Amino acid sequence: MKIVVIQGPNLNMLGLREQNIYGPMKLDDIHAQMETYAKQSEIEVEFFQSNLEGEIVDKIQECVGEAQGIIINPAAYTHTSIAIRDAIKAVQIPTVEVHISNIYAREEFRHKSMIAPVCAGQITGFGPFSYHLAMVSMIQILSEIKAMQEAQNKQQASQQ
């Protein structure tokens, strides 16, 4: 199984920008922790970061047939991007939205996510640990899907 982690604008600046909100951890460190956990669970993980909305949409579309799950931090696009929302909805791949900061404890314009309604769930406010929680959640979602498919296959086989 493969999970693609998509990072939105300015996340490449983690460790440098607004440490009082995002902490000192760099994106590469977050990815290394996620990769370690994914390997323990025998999951392949791919990381992608872009500051450009269209590139994020392209990456989501590229996941079709390649990935079983998506973890996305759309960053500022969370609150503005119908294009990212539509791409997630179109690919029909289980997706978890993740944020380092608690977007609901910040400026009012950050309280509305355009992305959350088309995701399996949203994790927000646990600092870099939010990504670990997103990975745990995605692995659980994929395990449930696999179990459901196996049960359906058994039922079909017994009916033949």
Q: Which residues are catalytic?
A: 22, 99
Beta-strand pair 44-49/121-124:
unpaired
Helices (H), the chain: 19-22, 27-40, 53-62, 82-91, 129-159
- Token pair for residue 6? 């998509």
Q: Identify residue 72 by its one-letter amino acid code.
A: I
DSSP, res 3: E
b/e code 123-145 from CB counts within 10 Å (16+ = b): bbebbbebbbebbebbbebbeee
Alpha-carbon gap, residue 18 to 37, rounded angstroms: 27
Alpha-carbon gap, residue 71 to 96, rounded angstroms: 5
Rg (CA), the chain: 16
